[in-house]
Amino acid sequence: MIRASSREQSPHPKGWKQKLQSPRFWLKQLRDLTIMALLLYGVSLYLQRDMVTGQAPVLSGITIDGGKFALNTAQTEPTLVYFWGTWCPVCRVTSPMVETISQNHRVISVAVASGSDSEIQTFMDEHQYHFPVLNDDSGTQSALWGAMAFPAIYVIDTQGNIRYVTSGVTSTWGMKFRLWLAQF
């Protein structure tokens, strides 16, 4: 039978200070973090396995707001190509970062299986996104590019080569850094 003590219990187990000072404790923490990082890296590689590399496939069309877009092989600056969906929870984290990137860099996004142009435009308006969007309602473009996990991000250099690919959550500074590196 367990009896409750009349004394107030410490929020930390007995000997917690000794554990924090122990090298063994910190080695276990480092081991666990390393294993977690390797697992996440492995999952990331798995999700990127089908993403196209090398010369970028053709990407052109009319954006949902009626503008023309063509990914040319002779561009003046690198381009970020962003495959996403209005239905994608991870894209809801990434899209605000892409919006920030689009203010200073060339960006084209491809909305995959996200409805009609007007439905996508409503979504864009609700979230105050202004980056250009091609509608890939059938998934043809995403299949051509090998974008099977979303969001999928490609950085295309000025020669039309895919320099960097990533899928899932990324950071604004990570995208900016890849765009900067693609200049060289």
Give the CATH number for residue 63: 3.40.30.10
Beta-sheet pairing, 133-136 with 161-167: unpaired
| 90 and 21 share one domain | no
Taking 60 as the threshold, does the pLDDT of residue 5 lie above it? no
Number of domains in the chain: 2
Which of 23 and 107 is assigned the larger pLDDT?
A: 107
What is the predicted pLDDT for the residue at 43?
A: 75
Model confidence, pTM: 0.80
What is the predicted pLDDT for the residue at 20?
A: 81
What is the predicted pLDDT for the residue at 85?
A: 98
**What is the average per-residue pLDDT within 10-34?**
81
| 113 and 139 share one domain | yes
Which of 63 and 3 is assigned the larger pLDDT?
A: 63
| 117 and 78 share one domain | yes
In a domain, 79, yes or no: yes
Domain boundary among 47, 64, 88: 47
Domain span holding position 29: 16-47
What is the predicted pLDDT for the residue at 45?
A: 72
Side-chain-side CA neighbours of 45 within 13 Å: the count stands at: 6
Residue 87's contacts (CB-CB under 8 Å, 6 or more residues apart) are 113, 114
| 24 and 83 share one domain | no
Contacts 24+ apart (CB under 8 A), 56-61: 56/81, 56/154, 56/156, 56/160, 56/161, 56/162, 57/144, 57/145, 59/108, 59/110, 59/134, 59/141, 59/145, 61/134
3-state secondary structure of 73: coil
Taking 90 as the threshold, does the pLDDT of residue 18 lie above it? no
Look at residues 176, 32, 49 and name the one whose alpha carbon lies nearest to residue 105. 176
DSSP letter assigned to residue 100: H
What is the predicted pLDDT for the residue at 16?
A: 77
| 106 and 61 share one domain | yes
**Which segments of 48-116 does DSSP mark as H helices, in order?**
89-102
Instruction: Work out the number of other CB atoms within 10 angstroms of the CB of residue 24.
Output: 8
List pLDDT tens digits, range 136-165. Answer: 999 999 999 999 999 999 999 999 999 999
**What is the average per-residue pLDDT within 19-28?**
86
3-state secondary structure of 49: coil
Backbone φ and ψ of 34, nearest 5°: -65, -45
pLDDT level of residue 10 (50, 70, 90 thresholds): low
